[in-house]
Structure 1
C-alpha cells in the first residue's frame, strides 16, 4: 500500500493527530455498531427459531394415535386467531393437507420447503408480499388405513417478521444513539488528551518564537525527555552563536583600530604631498564602511527586540541640533510597539544615514513614520527637497557607483543602508514624496 502524498496530509503534528482520532472514531465506532447490530439480529433470529421449533413439536404432539388427524383448536392461542401472524401447516407429498385456524382466509403459500426425513430447516419466505420466518420438519407415520405403509409429511410453522423487525429496529436506534453519545464523549476525551499531550510542544513553539523575537535568551529546561534533548541542543547552539558573533565583532573592532592608527599617522605627516591626502581619506572612509558592514550582526534568529521609537527619537534630537541653521520641521509618527530584531547600532546606522540625507536635501520639512505589519517593521522617510530622478533611483541599486554621483543630500551612506537591508533580508522602495522630495520606504521582516 502506497503512503498518502504529502500534499494530502496536514502540515502540523496536531492536525495529523486530530485527523487520526477522527478517522478512528468514524471508522471504528460504526464498525462496532454494525457488528453489534448483526450479532443482535442473529441472536434474535436464533431465538425465533427456538420458538418456532417448540411450537412445531407442540403440533406434532397433537397427532392422534399414529394418524394424521389434528384437532380444530391448538394449545397455542395464536394458532387459533384469524391471521394472527403465527401459522401451522401440514403438507404431504407436496400438497397442503392441513392448516391452523389462524391461516383461514390466507392465500396458498406456494411451494413449501421439504427437508429430508427427520430433519428441520429454518429460513424465510414471502407470504402476502411480506417476509415471514418458516421452520419446517419432515416426519412419517405408519397409517393403518394404508396397510401400515409409512406416509411422509412435513409440518411448517410460519411467523410474521413484523415483530422481529420492530425489535431489531428499536435496538438499532438505541444502539446508534448510544454510539453517537460515545463518539461525542470520546472526541472530548481525545481532545483533552491531545491538548495535554501537545501542551509541551505548544510551549516549546512559543518559547522558540520568543527567542527568535529577542524576548528570551534561551529555551526552558522543564520539558519531557523527548523534547529536552532538542531544547538543550538549541540552547547550546544559541549560546555558541552569541559567543561567535561577539568574538567576531571584537576581532573586527581590533582590526579597525590597527588600520586607523597608521592612516592617522600618514594623514598627520607634514611631508605628505597634498594630492595624497584625498586617496588616504578615501581609504579611511572605505575601511570604515566595510568594517561597519562586516560588523553588522544581520538577521540572526536570536536578537533582542530594539524599540525603534527610542532610537529614532535620539536621532531626531541630534539632527535637529546639527541642522539648526536650516530650521527644519521634523514630523514623526512612530509606533510604540515597532520593534527591530537586530543590533541597535545597525538600526541607528540605517536610520541615521537616511535621515541625514533627508536633512541635507530638505528645504524645510522631514517626515519619519514607523508602523508594524503582520510580517515586520515598516519605515518611511520623506523630505521636501528636489527628489531623485528615475535614472538616479536605478543607479542606487548598482554596485560600484560612487555616492558623489548623486545630487547633494542623497547617495551618501546609501551603500551602508543597502548592505544592512540585505543582511536583514529587508526591502526598500524609492519614489516621489507628496512633499516634493524623495520618499524611502523600508521593510524589515520580523525574523
Structure 2
C-alpha cells in the first residue's frame, strides 16, 4: 500500500499496562494498598517479636524465682550436697510435671557432673551438656529434652566449707516450653486476625477516601468528554482550588478557538460573497467565449459550495464529535438515488460507536467525495467500512472498478488532475479530501481492493481517548 499523503504519526497506541501505569487513580490506589500491605504486616511482626521477648522475659523471671527457692534450701558440707526430700514448689515433687530442678558441678575432674535432680525429673536421662556460667552469673537458654523444646535457667554458685575450700555448683531450672509457646501462638492468632480485619477496613476506607478525593478529576474528565462529543461548550462544574486554574484556562482556550473558527468561517463567507458580484458582472459580458463562460460557471459552483460549507460548519469546533454512521447513512441514501441507472449497490459495514472528532461538514466532504468517486468508478458495487478502537478511526471505501494504477496513485490527489474519464467533476474533489485529512493530521492511502478487485481508499485518524 502506498501512502499518497503522509501525515505525522502520534506514536503507537498505549497498551493496557501502560495506560494503567499512567493513571493517577491507579497509582494512588496501588500506593495506598502497598502502604497497608507493607506497614501493617511490619507492625504485626514487630508486635509479635515484642510479645515473644516479653514472654521470654517473664519466663526468665519465673525460672529465676524457682532457682532462688532451690538455692535457699541447698546445703554443702564436707564436699557433699544435701537437699530436702520435698521442695516448697510442688511441681518439683511431681514426676514429669514439666518443671525440673538439677544441680551439677562444673568441675570437669568430677566423675559425675550431675549431683542432684528433683523428683519431677525421674524417667529422664541426664542431659549430655548443661550450661555452666561463671560463678555468680546466670544464663538463660533453650534446650531439647526427650525430643521436646524446653527453656533452662542456670546459675553458678560456690559454697565455702570448713576447711576454707570452695565447692562450686550450678543450679538449673528447666521448664517445658509448651505453655509459653501456647501463649505466643494464641497471641499470634489474635494479632493476625485483627490485623487482617484492620487491613480490610483500612483498604475500604482508603479506597472510599481516594474515590472521594479523585471525584473532581472524574467530573473533570466527564466534562471534557462532553465537550469532545459536542454536548457542552465549556467546563461548568465547581472544582477544587488546584483545578480551578486549569478549568479557567481551558475555558479561555475553548472560547478563543471558537472565536477564531468563527472568524475563519466568516472570512471565507465574506470572500465568497465578494467574489460573486465581480463574477456575475463578468458572466454578463456578451463577448465571452463558451469556454470562459463554462469556467466562470465552475467558479460560481465552487463559491456556492464553499458558502454552504461555511454556513453549515459555522458553529462547529475541533472538539465536537460526530457519529460517522449518521453522516454515512445520509450520503448512502443520497448517492443511491443519484446512481440508480445503472444501479450501484453501496454496502455498509460501519461501527455504530465510531466518532469523528471534527466538523460534520468536513466529514461529509471527505466521505462524499470518496463515495462519489467510488460510485463513478464502480461497475456495480461499492463497500464502505468504518472501524474504531484504541484511539484510531479507520474509513475504507472500495469499488469493483478498474482500480488505480501506480502512476495514477502519485497524481490522483493533485489539484486539477483527473484520474478518471467521468464526464463530470471539477478535478479538485480528491485534492480537497487530502487537504481536509491533512488538517486533522490523518493519513490517506490508495491501493487495490482485495475484496472487490477495484480501488481502495483508506483514511485513518489518530484520536485522543476519552
TM-score w.r.t. the length of structure 2 is 0.77
CA distance in 2, matches of 1:159, 1:433: 88
Q: Aligned residue for 2:125?
A: 107
Q: Paired residue for 1:78, among 77, 91, 100?
A: 91
Report if aligned partners of 1:359, 1:409 keep a CA contact under 8 Å in 2.
no
**Higher mean C-alpha deviation, range 309-318 or range 78-87:** 309-318
Q: Paired residue for 2:436, among 420, 424, 428?
A: 420
User: Quick one: structure 1 residues 268 and 358, their matched pair in 2 at CA, closer, same or farther if it must change by over 3 Å?
Assistant: farther
Could you say what the CA RMSD is over the residues aligned between the two structures, in angstroms? 4.1
Q: Aligned residue for 1:13?
A: 24
**Higher mean C-alpha deviation, range 134-143 or range 184-193:** 134-143
Q: Aligned residue for 2:420?
A: 406
Q: Aligned residue for 1:253?
A: 269
Any idea what SS the aligned residue of 1:147 has? coil
CA distance in 2, matches of 1:60, 1:274: 136
Displacement of 1:42 in angstroms is: 0.7
CA distance in 2, matches of 1:319, 1:112: 106
**Higher mean C-alpha deviation, range 256-265 or range 52-61:** 256-265
**Match status 1:309 vs 2:326:** yes
Displacement of 1:423 in angstroms is: 2.5
CA distance in 2, matches of 1:160, 1:14: 54
Q: Aligned residue for 2:72?
A: 61
Count of matched residue positions in the alignment of Structure 1 and Structure 2: 435
Any idea what SS the aligned residue of 2:21 has? coil
CA distance in 2, matches of 1:61, 1:415: 113
Map 1:79-94 to 2 at 5 A: 79-94=92-107
User: Quick one: structure 1 residues 64 and 338, their matched pair in 2 at CA, closer, same or farther if it must change by over 3 Å?
Assistant: closer
**Higher mean C-alpha deviation, range 305-314 or range 242-251:** 305-314
CA distance in 2, matches of 1:255, 1:189: 63
**Match status 1:156 vs 2:172:** yes
Any idea what SS the aligned residue of 1:373 has? strand
User: Quick one: structure 1 residues 278 and 327, their matched pair in 2 at CA, closer, same or farther if it must change by over 3 Å?
Assistant: closer
Q: Aligned residue for 2:236?
A: 220
Report if aligned partners of 2:374, 2:397 keep a CA contact under 8 Å in 1.
yes
User: Quick one: structure 1 residues 338 and 55, their matched pair in 2 at CA, closer, same or farther if it must change by over 3 Å?
Assistant: closer
The CA deviation string for residues 24-44 of structure 1, in whole angstroms up to 9 with x for no partner, is 122212211111111111111
CA distance in 1, matches of 2:295, 2:22: 58
The CA deviation string for residues 84-106 of structure 1, in whole angstroms up to 9 with x for no partner, is 33221223453332221223343
**Match status 1:373 vs 2:391:** no
TM-score w.r.t. the length of structure 1 is 0.80
**Higher mean C-alpha deviation, range 253-262 or range 389-398:** 389-398
User: Quick one: structure 1 residues 117 and 388, their matched pair in 2 at CA, closer, same or farther if it must change by over 3 Å?
Assistant: closer
CA distance in 2, matches of 1:126, 1:351: 88
CA distance in 2, matches of 1:208, 1:335: 23
**Higher mean C-alpha deviation, range 263-272 or range 76-85:** 263-272
- Higher relative contact order by CA 8 Å / sep ≥ 6: 1 or 2? 2
The CA deviation string for residues 383-437 of structure 1, in whole angstroms up to 9 with x for no partner, is 66x433424651455535612x422169742222222233232545454597776
Q: Paired residue for 1:353, among 369, 376, 400?
A: 369
Report if aligned partners of 1:121, 1:135 keep a CA contact under 8 Å in 2.
yes
Report if aligned partners of 1:140, 1:153 keep a CA contact under 8 Å in 2.
yes
Displacement of 1:71 in angstroms is: 0.9
Report if aligned partners of 2:320, 2:357 keep a CA contact under 8 Å in 1.
yes
Report if aligned partners of 2:323, 2:352 keep a CA contact under 8 Å in 1.
no
**Match status 1:123 vs 2:141:** yes
The CA deviation string for residues 342-381 of structure 1, in whole angstroms up to 9 with x for no partner, is 3232233334334444554566x56575655335666565
Displacement of 1:45 in angstroms is: 0.8
Report if aligned partners of 1:369, 1:381 keep a CA contact under 8 Å in 2.
yes
User: Quick one: structure 1 residues 153 and 433, their matched pair in 2 at CA, closer, same or farther if it must change by over 3 Å?
Assistant: closer
Q: Aligned residue for 2:157?
A: 139
Report if aligned partners of 2:323, 2:353 keep a CA contact under 8 Å in 1.
no
Report if aligned partners of 1:142, 1:148 keep a CA contact under 8 Å in 2.
yes
Q: Paired residue for 2:60, among 44, 49, 57?
A: 49
**Higher mean C-alpha deviation, range 369-378 or range 411-420:** 369-378
Q: Aligned residue for 1:34?
A: 45
CA distance in 2, matches of 1:122, 1:437: 94
CA distance in 2, matches of 1:93, 1:337: 91
CA distance in 2, matches of 1:182, 1:32: 12
Q: Paired residue for 1:394, among 398, 402, 409?
A: 409
User: Quick one: structure 1 residues 329 and 310, their matched pair in 2 at CA, closer, same or farther if it must change by over 3 Å?
Assistant: same
Displacement of 1:194 in angstroms is: 2.0
Report if aligned partners of 2:157, 2:169 keep a CA contact under 8 Å in 1.
yes
Q: Aligned residue for 1:3?
A: none
Report if aligned partners of 1:392, 1:406 keep a CA contact under 8 Å in 2.
no
User: Quick one: structure 1 residues 107 and 420, their matched pair in 2 at CA, closer, same or farther if it must change by over 3 Å?
Assistant: same
Report if aligned partners of 2:385, 2:395 keep a CA contact under 8 Å in 1.
yes
